[in-house]
Structure 1
Amino acid sequence: MHSNGGLGSGMGSDSDVDALAQLVADAESVSDAARLAQIREVRVLAAAGVLAERQTAGASEKVKAREMALRGIAAELAGVFVATDRTLQRRIDEARDLVENYPVTMAAWEDGRIVRGHVRVIQEVGSLVPVEGRAEFERVAIERCEGERPNRVRDALRMIAERMHPRTFTERHEEAAAGRGVWVQAGADGMSDLIATLPTVIADGIVDRLTRQAREIINARAQADAAGGGADARADAPDAQAEAPGVRADTNGGAPGADTTIRDGSSFVDDARTIDQVRADVFSDLLLAGTPALDPTGTGDGNGTLGAIRAHVQVAVSALTLMGQDEGPADLAGRSPIDAATARELAGNATSWDRLLTHPVTGTVLECDSYRPTAGMVRLLRARDRHCRFPGCRQPAIRCELDHTIAASDGGVTHVCNLANLCKRHHDVKHHTRWHVRQLPGGRLIWTSPTGRIYREDAPPPLVAFTVAFTAASPPDGRDDQQPPGAPSPPPRSPGRLDTPPGSAPPF
């Protein structure tokens, strides 16, 4: 956990802040002008599509005639937009679809409630929703988009659209999974793309494991550099030459040339690979040999740390889905929905899992517990935050760092009310620039930019639907708990429930 709250030297002077404030004001003006221009462009392109259809009215071969008319109009407009006629034709179709099938979205865009990025997401995800449910989807989607970044709302809108689909996500996933496969697409300069179409949770787990193994290798390289144990120094070691006969020769066809600077399994100083390159090399070794050929953590005959690393994914799933009473999708944090069957399998095979108690109205995570002893605060914060809490960032919480909102050096307590997940990039931004943050109850963060602009970051509720049940009976002890007259009282909470009465305090 990073607790250094001091101001860094890269924050700039007050005059720099004034200059930045002017740039922000200019950017706002440009943004408004760009929005109006984008809207006008969409309406012009949509009108071009209508014109093409009007030109072909009454034609004997209407489909072919419309295509030819549309090609002609697209070719004409392509010269104005300095693009190909194929591109313009596609944009005309997209614009007409937007204007005719998403009128509420267009109106919200014109009113400045949403931006172009929101519109693209709504149109893309809305294609999953039947026509009769499109208006309701638009209404809900726009409410979710207001005040939020487009990349943050995509998963939420996808989950809403999936639940509005007439067929369950599980049924459609089973059909899609039948098309899984692996193939090679040849590229230039002796390279190729190895493409695998897999269930999302499997693909995400693969990338997670490769990333963490690659970081182990890079961390070992940094430690070797710090120790000054260069290749020349290690060459004098008694058993250095004994290790030298190519480690890759024992990998049963390890990828030749994938790692040309390392041959003896111990020389990491000459290893200048990026994390992407290391990840690709580990991927090759695992598929060809079952274990990375170069494991800086391996000693003796053991498998080493890399072989012990397993993939981690973070999934939120409702109790009804776990019990098989609902086939709605579960939420793979930071990625996309996954089918109910996969979520149930993950829960069944997990060594431990967390129970989330959510607010019955807002859905905010209020409490997190487990059936096994865990680092409760860390688990709660991962469940509450789900991703980096800097405005607009979606880096999953399992790849973030815990930050003291008020630095420990300034008296900040190690308590969930003073902790939040930040990715490495935004952790550094908080501590080394003039960005400031304060945390309100419920995990709400209020960020202030160097120019004084305010950004509110609410703790995102899980995208899955948690059940809520209330009874008209009074609490067991007969107390009213300050409920208004005639209001239903919440039932007592039991270990098996997934709902939390309004007003319940977080556990820490």
Structure 2
Amino acid sequence: MTDAMETPGDEAYLAAVAGIVAGVESAGRVIAAAQIAELRVLAAAGRLADQQGAPRNARVQVHDMVLRSIAAEVGGVMRMTDRTVQRRIGEARLIIEGFPAAVAAWEAGRIVRGHVLAIVDAGTNLPAELWDEFETVAIERCDGQTPNRVRGELEILAHRMHPRSFAERHEEAAAGRCVRLVPGRDGMSDLVATLPTVIAEGIHDRLTQQARAIVDTRQERAPGSAIITTDARSTDQVRADVFADLLLAGTPSLDDTRDTSAGPLGAIRARVQVLVPAATLSGADDGPCNLAGRSPIDPATVRTLAGLTQVWERLFHDPATGVTVSTDSYRVPSGMRRFLQARDQHCRFPGCRVAAIRCEVDHTHDHALGGRTELSNLAHLCQRHHSMKQFTAWKVRQLKGGVLEWTSPLGRIYREDAPTPAVAFTPAAASPGDPAPF
């Protein structure tokens, strides 16, 4: 005999659902309380930096170094980079100090975190003196609505309350136009351009027209044409390929469906640092390669770039053969610098991923205080963390094997091991029958 299955109308079923809803509601209150508490602590960190940096010296550098040091200290606990923590400190101060009524409504359970972020995003487009008035109305608009549904309404509300015309604000916003590179997964990245809407729409429209022309004519084969009629790319894929062609070559001629040796990669002349395992370069392995400081890239791209390069440099570190490991001068010789780039790969402050080719070679023990210019006393630091080492209470010493041991102002120790080398040599195991070595 089996138990009867619960149906959506049974009391047991309804009681179970009620328990789940109550549990989610209770967990939501706990999570909200923790998120608000974290915001308040981070905001307090920002205020502490103001207090420590302002009274003794009004220089911006003093305040910035104090804030960097605090952010690095907190980052060690949060398992985040100091840059991320510093950004979150600024965001926390904006929310806690700029929109206190929204935080209070969140704490009381009237709205949720998504509402607060929507209010802050829309409200910051207004002058600060209007924030109080805006958030009072915005909180009422959020009542009973989901954050996504009310977000557009809040943006319209902010536009209507703004004392300046849209034309004036657009001209100011256009000054912030930029292009950003956001590393993604599987050897892909997002190239994000922030442009005036009419220009962005025009670019997208032109790409679409050119992509459609390629798609519409893919079945045509003129006498002697090199066009491959089996092109199965989608419109989105063709649009992306045309975009790359136009930027790299000035014309959509580098079509992957045509007989070209390198495709769009043939136009790349940027300076990059790529760590390529020998097996991948030879084709014996198809694993990803490392674009130092960025993300993995696919092996086919690596082989194409390797074939196009004009200069090959092989680095061997063997003290017995006379490879430069030390010098009496302050200047780091080029050979030693190349070895350090291969060893460090990126900035050696905990959590930082700025590529070594964009960093400074730092004397761990200051050269002016007797530190030698030798491999065991050199490491790459980006400008930000080089300055922190000089102007804050963060200390560092270098152990054997290029290991850096950082000590924070609170005495916490962070060990920064040298990255895994791109190439490693190991002694070959002796096989049965091999002659004994002399």
* TM-score using structure 2 length: 0.43
Q: Work out which of the two has the higher radius of gyration on C-alpha atoms and give 1 or 2.
A: 2
* TM-score using structure 1 length: 0.38
